[in-house]
Protein backbone atom coordinates (compact mmCIF):
# COMPACT_ATOMS: atom_id res chain seq x y z
CA UNK A 1 0.00 0.00 0.00
CA UNK A 2 1.47 3.39 -0.95
CA UNK A 3 1.09 6.74 0.82
CA UNK A 4 -1.88 7.79 -1.28
CA UNK A 5 -3.75 4.65 -0.13
CA UNK A 6 -2.60 4.26 3.49
CA UNK A 7 -4.21 6.28 6.26
CA UNK A 8 -1.96 8.21 8.64
CA UNK A 9 -3.13 9.57 11.95
CA UNK A 10 -1.48 12.98 11.79
CA UNK A 11 0.22 15.30 9.33
CA UNK A 12 2.31 18.04 10.94
CA UNK A 13 3.15 20.96 8.66
CA UNK A 14 6.27 22.85 9.72
CA UNK A 15 9.70 21.73 10.86
CA UNK A 16 10.45 24.37 13.44
CA UNK A 17 10.55 23.76 17.18
CA UNK A 18 6.77 23.51 17.59
CA UNK A 19 6.29 21.18 14.64
CA UNK A 20 9.18 18.92 15.64
CA UNK A 21 8.01 18.88 19.26
CA UNK A 22 4.47 17.95 18.25
CA UNK A 23 5.69 15.19 15.93
CA UNK A 24 7.86 13.72 18.70
CA UNK A 25 5.08 13.80 21.28
CA UNK A 26 2.51 12.36 18.86
CA UNK A 27 4.77 9.54 17.71
CA UNK A 28 5.51 8.67 21.32
CA UNK A 29 1.77 8.35 21.95
CA UNK A 30 1.56 5.66 19.29
CA UNK A 31 0.23 7.79 16.44
CA UNK A 32 1.25 7.29 12.80
CA UNK A 33 2.86 10.68 12.11
CA UNK A 34 4.22 12.45 9.04
CA UNK A 35 5.98 15.81 9.31
CA UNK A 36 6.63 17.92 6.22
CA UNK A 37 8.86 21.01 6.08
CA UNK A 38 9.23 23.12 2.93
CA UNK A 39 12.90 23.84 3.62
CA UNK A 40 15.37 22.48 6.17
CA UNK A 41 14.48 21.76 9.79
CA UNK A 42 14.81 24.95 11.88
CA UNK A 43 15.50 26.95 8.72
CA UNK A 44 13.55 30.02 9.85
CA UNK A 45 12.57 31.45 13.25
CA UNK A 46 13.72 28.42 15.24
CA UNK A 47 17.38 28.96 14.32
CA UNK A 48 17.36 32.76 14.60
CA UNK A 49 16.35 33.16 18.25
CA UNK A 50 18.31 34.67 21.15
CA UNK A 51 19.16 31.05 22.01
CA UNK A 52 17.70 31.10 25.49
CA UNK A 53 15.50 28.82 27.55
CA UNK A 54 14.07 31.36 29.97
CA UNK A 55 11.09 32.28 32.06
CA UNK A 56 10.84 35.74 30.55
CA UNK A 57 11.72 38.11 33.39
CA UNK A 58 10.44 41.16 31.55
CA UNK A 59 7.03 39.54 30.96
CA UNK A 60 6.32 40.13 34.64
CA UNK A 61 6.03 43.86 33.84
CA UNK A 62 3.05 42.99 31.64
CA UNK A 63 1.49 40.85 34.39
CA UNK A 64 1.91 37.63 32.40
CA UNK A 65 2.45 35.61 35.56
CA UNK A 66 0.94 32.42 34.14
CA UNK A 67 3.23 32.52 31.10
CA UNK A 68 6.29 33.14 33.27
CA UNK A 69 5.39 30.32 35.63
CA UNK A 70 4.80 27.92 32.74
CA UNK A 71 8.10 28.99 31.15
CA UNK A 72 10.03 28.52 34.40
CA UNK A 73 8.56 25.05 34.82
CA UNK A 74 9.62 24.17 31.28
CA UNK A 75 13.08 25.67 31.87
CA UNK A 76 13.57 23.17 34.68
CA UNK A 77 12.26 20.20 32.67
CA UNK A 78 14.22 20.97 29.50
CA UNK A 79 17.49 21.57 31.33
CA UNK A 80 17.23 17.99 32.55
CA UNK A 81 16.03 16.59 29.21
CA UNK A 82 18.97 17.89 27.17
CA UNK A 83 21.84 19.03 29.43
CA UNK A 84 24.31 18.92 26.53
CA UNK A 85 22.23 21.50 24.61
CA UNK A 86 20.77 23.53 27.48
CA UNK A 87 23.08 24.92 30.13
CA UNK A 88 22.40 27.27 33.05
CA UNK A 89 23.78 30.77 32.52
CA UNK A 90 24.02 33.72 34.91
CA UNK A 91 22.57 37.05 33.73
CA UNK A 92 23.64 40.33 35.27
CA UNK A 93 21.55 43.50 35.17
CA UNK A 94 23.70 46.64 35.47
CA UNK A 95 21.87 49.67 36.82
CA UNK A 96 21.98 53.13 35.23
CA UNK A 97 20.41 56.12 37.01
CA UNK A 98 17.46 56.03 34.58
CA UNK A 99 17.00 52.25 34.80
CA UNK A 100 14.00 50.59 36.40
CA UNK A 101 13.78 51.12 40.14
CA UNK A 102 16.00 48.72 42.13
CA UNK A 103 13.00 47.90 44.30
CA UNK A 104 10.96 47.00 41.23
CA UNK A 105 13.73 44.71 39.98
CA UNK A 106 14.13 43.10 43.41
CA UNK A 107 10.40 42.39 43.51
CA UNK A 108 10.49 40.94 39.99
CA UNK A 109 13.46 38.72 40.79
CA UNK A 110 11.79 37.50 43.98
CA UNK A 111 8.79 36.39 41.92
CA UNK A 112 11.10 34.87 39.31
CA UNK A 113 12.79 32.79 41.98
CA UNK A 114 9.55 31.55 43.52
CA UNK A 115 6.91 31.20 40.78
CA UNK A 116 8.05 27.63 40.07
CA UNK A 117 10.20 24.95 41.67
CA UNK A 118 13.89 25.62 41.08
CA UNK A 119 16.43 22.82 41.40
CA UNK A 120 19.01 23.48 38.69
CA UNK A 121 19.17 27.29 38.86
CA UNK A 122 20.63 29.40 41.70
CA UNK A 123 18.66 32.21 43.31
CA UNK A 124 19.03 35.83 42.25
CA UNK A 125 21.17 38.28 44.20
CA UNK A 126 22.49 41.83 44.23
CA UNK A 127 25.98 42.30 42.74
CA UNK A 128 28.68 44.96 42.63
CA UNK A 129 30.72 45.83 39.57
CA UNK A 130 34.36 46.84 39.92
CA UNK A 131 36.18 49.59 38.08
CA UNK A 132 38.41 46.99 36.42
CA UNK A 133 35.46 45.27 34.74
CA UNK A 134 34.12 45.83 31.21
CA UNK A 135 31.32 48.19 32.25
CA UNK A 136 31.67 51.95 32.47
CA UNK A 137 33.10 53.05 35.81
CA UNK A 138 29.90 54.90 36.72
CA UNK A 139 28.06 51.55 36.83
CA UNK A 140 28.83 49.88 40.14
CA UNK A 141 25.62 48.07 41.15
CA UNK A 142 23.20 45.60 39.69
CA UNK A 143 21.56 42.21 40.05
CA UNK A 144 22.16 38.64 38.98
CA UNK A 145 19.66 35.93 38.09
CA UNK A 146 19.84 32.65 36.16
CA UNK A 147 18.31 31.24 32.99
CA UNK A 148 19.73 28.89 30.35
CA UNK A 149 21.42 29.05 26.97
CA UNK A 150 20.38 26.64 24.21
CA UNK A 151 21.52 25.58 20.78
CA UNK A 152 18.13 26.35 19.26
CA UNK A 153 18.45 24.62 15.89
CA UNK A 154 19.92 21.48 17.44
CA UNK A 155 16.98 21.37 19.84
CA UNK A 156 14.76 21.12 16.77
CA UNK A 157 16.95 18.39 15.28
CA UNK A 158 16.89 16.19 18.39
CA UNK A 159 13.10 16.50 18.60
CA UNK A 160 12.87 15.38 14.97
CA UNK A 161 15.18 12.48 15.83
CA UNK A 162 12.97 11.65 18.79
CA UNK A 163 9.97 11.61 16.46
CA UNK A 164 11.72 9.33 13.97
CA UNK A 165 12.87 6.97 16.73
CA UNK A 166 9.21 6.63 17.71
CA UNK A 167 8.15 5.86 14.14
CA UNK A 168 7.40 9.25 12.56
CA UNK A 169 8.32 10.04 8.96
CA UNK A 170 10.22 13.34 8.57
CA UNK A 171 10.03 14.88 5.09
CA UNK A 172 12.23 17.94 4.57
CA UNK A 173 12.21 20.05 1.39
CA UNK A 174 8.54 19.06 1.07
CA UNK A 175 5.76 21.67 0.87
CA UNK A 176 2.10 21.03 1.59
CA UNK A 177 0.38 22.56 -1.45
CA UNK A 178 -3.15 21.31 -1.02
CA UNK A 179 -5.63 19.93 1.47
CA UNK A 180 -8.93 18.39 0.43
CA UNK A 181 -11.67 16.63 2.32
CA UNK A 182 -11.84 13.03 1.17
CA UNK A 183 -14.54 10.50 1.93
CA UNK A 184 -13.16 9.67 5.38
CA UNK A 185 -10.05 11.80 5.95
CA UNK A 186 -7.95 14.68 4.69
CA UNK A 187 -6.17 14.24 1.39
CA UNK A 188 -2.94 16.27 1.51
CA UNK A 189 -0.85 17.09 -1.55
CA UNK A 190 2.90 17.33 -0.88
CA UNK A 191 5.39 18.72 -3.38
CA UNK A 192 9.06 17.78 -3.35
CA UNK A 193 10.82 21.15 -3.53
CA UNK A 194 13.81 19.71 -5.39
CA UNK A 195 12.13 17.51 -8.00
CA UNK A 196 8.73 19.19 -8.25
CA UNK A 197 7.01 15.82 -7.87
CA UNK A 198 3.65 15.93 -6.06
CA UNK A 199 2.47 13.03 -3.92
CA UNK A 200 -0.65 12.59 -1.82
CA UNK A 201 -1.39 11.07 1.56
CA UNK A 202 -4.50 10.50 3.62
CA UNK A 203 -4.50 11.62 7.27
CA UNK A 204 -7.07 11.74 10.01
CA UNK A 205 -5.86 15.09 11.38
CA UNK A 206 -3.61 17.97 10.31
CA UNK A 207 -1.66 20.41 12.47
CA UNK A 208 -0.47 23.67 10.92
CA UNK A 209 2.68 24.54 12.88
CA UNK A 210 4.26 26.70 10.19
CA UNK A 211 5.21 29.58 12.47
CA UNK A 212 5.16 32.96 10.68
CA UNK A 213 3.35 31.32 7.75
CA UNK A 214 0.51 29.98 9.91
CA UNK A 215 -2.20 32.42 8.82
CA UNK A 216 -1.40 32.50 5.13
CA UNK A 217 -1.09 28.72 5.00
CA UNK A 218 -4.39 28.27 6.86
CA UNK A 219 -6.12 30.51 4.34
CA UNK A 220 -4.45 28.85 1.36
CA UNK A 221 -5.37 25.35 2.48
CA UNK A 222 -8.95 26.05 3.55
CA UNK A 223 -9.99 28.98 1.32
CA UNK A 224 -11.35 30.62 4.48
CA UNK A 225 -10.10 33.46 6.69
CA UNK A 226 -7.59 32.43 9.35
CA UNK A 227 -9.11 32.29 12.85
CA UNK A 228 -6.58 34.81 14.20
CA UNK A 229 -4.68 37.80 12.97
CA UNK A 230 -1.01 37.63 13.80
CA UNK A 231 1.60 40.32 14.12
CA UNK A 232 4.88 39.52 12.48
CA UNK A 233 7.64 40.96 14.67
CA UNK A 234 11.23 40.81 13.51
CA UNK A 235 13.93 40.15 16.06
CA UNK A 236 17.49 40.85 14.92
CA UNK A 237 20.87 40.01 16.43
CA UNK A 238 24.49 40.84 15.80
CA UNK A 239 27.61 38.81 16.59
CA UNK A 240 30.78 40.69 17.57
CA UNK A 241 34.17 39.74 19.04
CA UNK A 242 33.73 38.81 22.69
CA UNK A 243 33.27 41.93 24.80
CA UNK A 244 34.43 40.46 28.12
CA UNK A 245 35.99 37.27 29.42
CA UNK A 246 33.55 36.37 32.20
CA UNK A 247 31.07 33.54 31.56
CA UNK A 248 27.89 35.45 32.32
CA UNK A 249 25.43 37.31 30.15
CA UNK A 250 24.22 40.88 30.55
CA UNK A 251 20.69 42.24 30.40
CA UNK A 252 20.80 45.90 29.34
CA UNK A 253 17.82 48.15 29.99
CA UNK A 254 16.90 50.76 27.40
CA UNK A 255 14.97 53.99 27.88
CA UNK A 256 12.23 52.72 25.53
CA UNK A 257 11.40 49.89 27.94
CA UNK A 258 13.02 47.14 25.91
CA UNK A 259 15.92 45.01 27.06
CA UNK A 260 18.92 43.82 25.06
CA UNK A 261 20.98 40.76 25.92
CA UNK A 262 24.75 40.45 25.57
CA UNK A 263 25.53 36.74 25.70
CA UNK A 264 28.81 34.78 25.53
CA UNK A 265 28.57 32.84 22.29
CA UNK A 266 30.60 29.94 20.89
CA UNK A 267 33.55 30.76 23.12
CA UNK A 268 34.95 33.78 21.35
CA UNK A 269 31.95 35.91 20.39
CA UNK A 270 29.26 38.01 22.02
CA UNK A 271 25.70 37.64 20.75
CA UNK A 272 23.71 40.88 21.05
CA UNK A 273 19.94 41.15 20.62
CA UNK A 274 17.15 41.41 20.12
CA UNK A 275 15.24 44.17 18.38
CA UNK A 276 11.48 44.21 17.93
CA UNK A 277 10.31 45.70 14.65
CA UNK A 278 7.04 45.16 12.79
CA UNK A 279 7.59 43.06 9.66
CA UNK A 280 5.56 43.03 6.47
CA UNK A 281 7.97 41.70 3.85
CA UNK A 282 8.87 38.37 2.26
CA UNK A 283 9.15 35.78 5.02
CA UNK A 284 11.76 33.91 3.01
CA UNK A 285 13.99 37.00 2.88
CA UNK A 286 14.42 38.42 6.37
CA UNK A 287 17.49 40.44 7.31
CA UNK A 288 18.67 42.98 9.84
CA UNK A 289 18.48 46.66 8.91
CA UNK A 290 21.18 49.29 9.36
CA UNK A 291 18.90 51.05 11.86
CA UNK A 292 18.66 47.88 13.96
CA UNK A 293 22.43 47.48 13.96
CA UNK A 294 22.81 51.08 15.10
CA UNK A 295 20.18 50.53 17.81
CA UNK A 296 21.97 47.50 19.28
CA UNK A 297 25.39 49.13 19.11
CA UNK A 298 24.13 52.32 20.76
CA UNK A 299 22.71 50.56 23.80
CA UNK A 300 25.85 48.43 24.24
CA UNK A 301 28.03 51.53 24.04
CA UNK A 302 26.02 53.17 26.84
CA UNK A 303 27.08 50.40 29.21
CA UNK A 304 30.48 49.13 28.12
CA UNK A 305 33.94 50.66 28.06
CA UNK A 306 34.87 48.93 24.79
CA UNK A 307 33.01 50.91 22.15
CA UNK A 308 31.54 49.09 19.19
CA UNK A 309 31.03 50.31 15.63
CA UNK A 310 29.31 48.70 12.68
CA UNK A 311 32.72 47.49 11.53
CA UNK A 312 32.87 45.16 14.53
CA UNK A 313 29.82 43.20 13.40
CA UNK A 314 31.07 39.81 12.22
CA UNK A 315 27.68 38.32 11.51
CA UNK A 316 24.01 39.16 11.89
CA UNK A 317 20.70 37.38 11.59
CA UNK A 318 17.01 38.13 11.87
CA UNK A 319 13.96 35.99 12.50
CA UNK A 320 10.25 36.73 12.44
CA UNK A 321 8.12 35.81 15.44
CA UNK A 322 4.41 35.15 14.82
CA UNK A 323 2.66 36.85 17.75
CA UNK A 324 -1.07 36.89 18.37
CA UNK A 325 -2.45 40.34 17.56
CA UNK A 326 -4.00 41.37 20.89
CA UNK A 327 -4.36 45.07 20.07
CA UNK A 328 -1.20 46.25 21.82
CA UNK A 329 0.43 49.19 20.10
CA UNK A 330 4.02 48.34 21.03
CA UNK A 331 5.42 45.12 19.62
CA UNK A 332 7.45 44.61 22.79
CA UNK A 333 4.24 44.36 24.83
CA UNK A 334 2.52 41.72 22.66
CA UNK A 335 2.18 38.42 24.52
CA UNK A 336 4.66 35.63 23.74
CA UNK A 337 2.13 33.02 24.80
CA UNK A 338 0.55 30.65 22.31
CA UNK A 339 -2.96 29.85 21.19
CA UNK A 340 -4.22 26.59 19.72
CA UNK A 341 -7.18 26.67 17.34
CA UNK A 342 -8.95 23.44 16.43
CA UNK A 343 -11.66 22.93 13.82
CA UNK A 344 -13.32 19.51 13.62
CA UNK A 345 -15.17 20.08 10.36
CA UNK A 346 -14.97 18.20 8.14
CA UNK A 347 -11.94 16.59 9.83
CA UNK A 348 -9.61 17.83 12.59
CA UNK A 349 -7.47 20.79 11.47
CA UNK A 350 -5.41 22.58 14.12
CA UNK A 351 -3.38 25.80 13.81
CA UNK A 352 -0.70 26.89 16.26
CA UNK A 353 -0.41 30.63 16.89
CA UNK A 354 2.43 32.26 18.79
CA UNK A 355 4.68 30.50 21.27
CA UNK A 356 8.40 30.51 21.97
CA UNK A 357 11.24 28.02 22.18
CA UNK A 358 10.95 27.58 25.95
CA UNK A 359 7.33 26.43 25.87
CA UNK A 360 7.45 24.14 22.83
CA UNK A 361 7.11 20.91 24.86
CA UNK A 362 4.06 21.95 26.85
CA UNK A 363 2.55 23.46 23.69
CA UNK A 364 2.90 20.10 21.95
CA UNK A 365 1.40 18.29 24.91
CA UNK A 366 -1.57 20.69 25.02
CA UNK A 367 -2.13 20.45 21.27
CA UNK A 368 -2.29 16.66 21.31
CA UNK A 369 -4.51 16.58 24.37
CA UNK A 370 -7.00 18.68 22.38
CA UNK A 371 -6.98 16.03 19.65
CA UNK A 372 -7.72 13.14 21.99
CA UNK A 373 -11.42 13.06 21.09
CA UNK A 374 -10.61 12.85 17.39
CA UNK A 375 -7.81 10.29 17.87
CA UNK A 376 -9.06 8.16 20.79
CA UNK A 377 -6.39 5.48 20.29
CA UNK A 378 -3.74 8.04 21.26
CA UNK A 379 -1.59 7.13 24.25
CA UNK A 380 -0.96 9.32 27.31
CA UNK A 381 1.38 12.32 27.57
CA UNK A 382 4.97 11.19 28.18
CA UNK A 383 7.51 13.92 27.34
CA UNK A 384 7.73 15.51 30.81
CA UNK A 385 9.93 12.63 31.97
CA UNK A 386 11.76 11.87 28.74
CA UNK A 387 15.37 12.50 27.79
CA UNK A 388 16.05 13.90 24.35
CA UNK A 389 18.48 12.07 22.03
CA UNK A 390 22.08 12.47 23.18
CA UNK A 391 21.16 13.12 26.82
CA UNK A 392 21.57 9.60 28.20
CA UNK A 393 24.57 10.31 30.45
CA UNK A 394 25.09 10.97 34.13
CA UNK A 395 27.22 14.11 33.82
CA UNK A 396 29.04 16.07 31.14
CA UNK A 397 32.31 15.61 33.02
CA UNK A 398 31.93 11.83 33.03
CA UNK A 399 30.94 11.87 29.36
CA UNK A 400 33.95 14.03 28.53
CA UNK A 401 36.27 11.62 30.33
CA UNK A 402 34.81 8.63 28.56
CA UNK A 403 35.14 10.31 25.14
CA UNK A 404 38.69 11.45 25.87
CA UNK A 405 39.72 7.91 26.75
CA UNK A 406 38.15 6.43 23.63
CA UNK A 407 39.38 9.16 21.24
CA UNK A 408 42.59 10.52 22.83
CA UNK A 409 43.73 11.92 19.48
CA UNK A 410 40.70 14.20 19.16
CA UNK A 411 41.58 17.91 19.54
CA UNK A 412 40.14 19.50 22.69
CA UNK A 413 38.16 22.14 20.80
CA UNK A 414 36.68 19.49 18.50
CA UNK A 415 35.75 17.29 21.45
CA UNK A 416 34.04 20.14 23.32
CA UNK A 417 32.06 21.18 20.26
CA UNK A 418 30.91 17.64 19.57
CA UNK A 419 29.97 17.00 23.19
CA UNK A 420 27.88 20.18 23.17
CA UNK A 421 26.20 19.19 19.90
CA UNK A 422 25.69 15.46 20.18
CA UNK A 423 26.06 14.50 23.83
CA UNK A 424 26.44 10.73 24.07
CA UNK A 425 25.58 10.40 20.36
CA UNK A 426 29.16 11.52 19.77
CA UNK A 427 30.06 7.82 19.88
CA UNK A 428 27.69 7.18 16.98
CA UNK A 429 29.24 10.04 15.01
CA UNK A 430 32.85 8.91 15.50
CA UNK A 431 32.21 5.19 15.67
CA UNK A 432 35.32 3.00 15.70
CA UNK A 433 37.67 5.72 14.46
CA UNK A 434 41.20 5.26 15.85
CA UNK A 435 42.90 8.31 14.33
CA UNK A 436 42.08 11.55 12.49
CA UNK A 437 42.73 9.72 9.23
CA UNK A 438 39.81 7.40 9.95
CA UNK A 439 37.48 10.42 9.82
CA UNK A 440 38.10 10.97 6.11
CA UNK A 441 38.24 14.39 4.46
CA UNK A 442 38.88 17.35 6.76
CA UNK A 443 36.77 20.34 5.73
CA UNK A 444 38.35 22.60 8.37
CA UNK A 445 37.67 23.65 11.97
CA UNK A 446 37.39 20.00 13.04
CA UNK A 447 34.57 19.17 10.62
CA UNK A 448 35.25 15.76 9.09
CA UNK A 449 33.78 13.68 6.31
CA UNK A 450 32.55 11.15 8.88
CA UNK A 451 30.62 13.84 10.76
CA UNK A 452 29.12 15.22 7.55
CA UNK A 453 28.09 11.72 6.50
CA UNK A 454 26.42 11.25 9.89
CA UNK A 455 24.54 14.54 9.48
CA UNK A 456 23.34 13.49 6.06
CA UNK A 457 22.24 10.04 7.18
CA UNK A 458 20.84 10.84 10.63
CA UNK A 459 19.99 14.54 10.71
CA UNK A 460 18.52 15.34 7.27
CA UNK A 461 21.39 17.63 6.18
CA UNK A 462 21.18 18.27 2.44
CA UNK A 463 23.57 21.19 1.91
CA UNK A 464 26.62 22.91 3.31
CA UNK A 465 24.43 25.57 4.94
CA UNK A 466 22.42 22.88 6.73
CA UNK A 467 25.64 21.62 8.28
CA UNK A 468 27.40 24.92 8.97
CA UNK A 469 24.55 27.02 10.37
CA UNK A 470 21.92 24.68 11.78
CA UNK A 471 23.85 21.61 12.94
CA UNK A 472 27.38 22.69 13.89
CA UNK A 473 27.55 26.54 13.90
CA UNK A 474 30.88 26.20 12.06
CA UNK A 475 29.76 28.79 9.54
CA UNK A 476 31.76 31.23 11.66
CA UNK A 477 34.96 29.23 11.19
CA UNK A 478 35.28 28.00 7.60
CA UNK A 479 36.71 30.24 4.88
CA UNK A 480 35.25 30.54 1.40
CA UNK A 481 37.39 27.79 -0.12
CA UNK A 482 36.46 25.40 2.67
CA UNK A 483 32.76 26.18 2.26
CA UNK A 484 33.02 25.55 -1.47
CA UNK A 485 34.72 22.22 -0.80
CA UNK A 486 31.91 21.22 1.56
CA UNK A 487 29.25 22.27 -0.94
CA UNK A 488 31.09 20.31 -3.60
CA UNK A 489 30.99 17.23 -1.38
CA UNK A 490 27.23 17.52 -1.17
Q: Could you state, in chain order, the average pLDDT of each consecutive group of 10 residues for the chain (490 residues)? A: 73 98 98 98 96 95 94 98 98 93 95 96 97 95 98 98 98 97 96 97 98 94 82 96 97 92 97 94 94 97 97 97 71 75 95 94 98 97 98 97 98 97 98 97 98 98 98 97 97
How many residues would you count in the chain? 490
CATH number of the structural domain spanning residue 171: 3.50.50.60
Same domain (yes/no): 145, 70 = yes
Residue 223 confidence (pLDDT): 85
Residue 394: other Cβ atoms inside 10 A: 7
pLDDT of residue 2: 46
- Close Cβ partners of 481 (under 8 Å, ≥ 6 residues apart): none
Helix (H) or strand (E) holding 487: helix 480-489
pLDDT in the model for residue 5: 64
DSSP classification of residue 470: I
Q: Is residue 33 within 8 Å of residue 207, measured between CB atoms?
A: no
Number of other residues whose CB lies within 10 A of the CB of residue 34: 23
Looking at residue 331, its pLDDT comes to: 57
Rounded CA-CA distance 16/415 in Å is: 27
Q: Quick one: 295 and 400 in the same domain?
A: no
Do 414 and 479 fall into the same domain? yes
**pLDDT computed for residue 481 by the predictor:** 98
Q: Say if residue 284 is in the same domain as residue 311.
A: yes
For 367-418, what is the HEC assignment?
HHHHCCCCCCCCCCCCHHHCCCCCCCCCCHHHHHHHHHHHCCCCCHHHHHHH
- The CATH number given to whatever domain includes residue 312 is 3.30.9.10
352 and 401 belong to one structural domain = no
Same domain, yes or no: 343 and 447:
no
Boundaries of domain holding 430? 396-489
Q: Is residue 51 part of a domain?
A: no
Please report whether residue 95 resides in a domain: yes
Residues 307 and 453 in one domain: no
Q: Which of the listed residues 280, 308, 326 is the one where a domain comes to its end? A: 326
Q: Are strands 230-241 and 277-278 parallel, antiparallel or unpaired?
A: antiparallel
- Domain match, 146 and 245 both: yes
| Same-domain pairing of 216 and 259 | no
Asked if 18 and 76 sit in the same domain, the reply is no
Do 98 and 67 fall within a single domain? yes
Nearest to 426 by CA among 437, 412, 415, 411: 415
Task: Note whether residue 1 is domain-resident.
Answer: no
The reported pLDDT for the residue numbered 333 is 58
In a domain, 50, yes or no: no
Instruction: List CB contacts of 339: < 8 A, sequence separation 6 or more.
Output: 228, 324, 352, 353, 354
Per-residue model confidence (pLDDT) at position 294: 97
Q: At 110, is the secondary structure helix, strand, or coil?
A: helix
Domain boundary among 326, 349, 367: 326
Same domain, 38 and 78: no
CA distance 402 to 390: 14
Query: In whole angstroms, what separates CA 176 from the centre of its chain?
Result: 23
Report which of 342, 343, 341, 384 is spatially closest to residue 365, judged by C-alpha positions: 384
The number of folded domains in the chain is: 3
Amino acid sequence: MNDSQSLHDLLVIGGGINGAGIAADAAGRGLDVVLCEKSDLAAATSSWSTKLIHGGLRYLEHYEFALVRKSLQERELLAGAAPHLIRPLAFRIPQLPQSRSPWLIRAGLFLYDHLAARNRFPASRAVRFTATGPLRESIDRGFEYWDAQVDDSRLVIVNAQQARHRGARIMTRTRCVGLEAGSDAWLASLRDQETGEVSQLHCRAVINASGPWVSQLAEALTNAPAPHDIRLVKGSHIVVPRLYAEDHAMLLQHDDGRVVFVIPYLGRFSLIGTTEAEFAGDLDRVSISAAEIDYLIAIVNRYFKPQLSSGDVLHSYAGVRPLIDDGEQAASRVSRDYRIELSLQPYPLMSIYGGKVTTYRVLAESALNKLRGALPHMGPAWTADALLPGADFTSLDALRQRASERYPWLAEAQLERMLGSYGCLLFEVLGEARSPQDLGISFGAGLSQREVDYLRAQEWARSGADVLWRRTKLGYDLNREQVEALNGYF
